[in-house]
Amino acid sequence: MSKYSKEFKEEAIRLSDEIGNKKAAAQLGIPYYTLADWRNKSKHKPKEPELSNTELKIRNRELERENTELRQANEILKDALGFFAKDRKK
């Protein structure tokens, strides 16, 4: 049984939207029923709810705060690495 990446599956579904299942499956070298199964599963997948503008702004602020914290932690780790690297050279 072959394993296909999520990206490959999504691209295959997009291609099948454009040229049809049979042609897309033949062009990609995958079984028709495999592509049909992927399409069926993608249709029944629950969609993520869309966020309002306010919710997006809040989420963006949270991500910016987390990004700042991670940058600070990264700087601390770089300093510590430099400290220990100096200690090793002695």
How deeply is 26 buried, as exposed, middle or buried, from its count of CB atoms within 10 A (0-12, 13-18, 19+)? middle
Same domain, 81 and 59: yes
pLDDT in tens, 20-42: 999 999 999 999 999 999 999 88
Same domain, 80 and 65: yes
45: phi then psi, degrees, rounded to nearest 5: -75, 130
pLDDT in tens, 35-80: 999 999 888 777 677 889 999 999 999 999 999 999 999 999 999 9
Query: Does residue 12 belong to any structural domain of this protein?
Result: yes
Query: Does residue 85 belong to any structural domain of this protein?
Result: yes
How many independent structural domains does the chain possess? 2
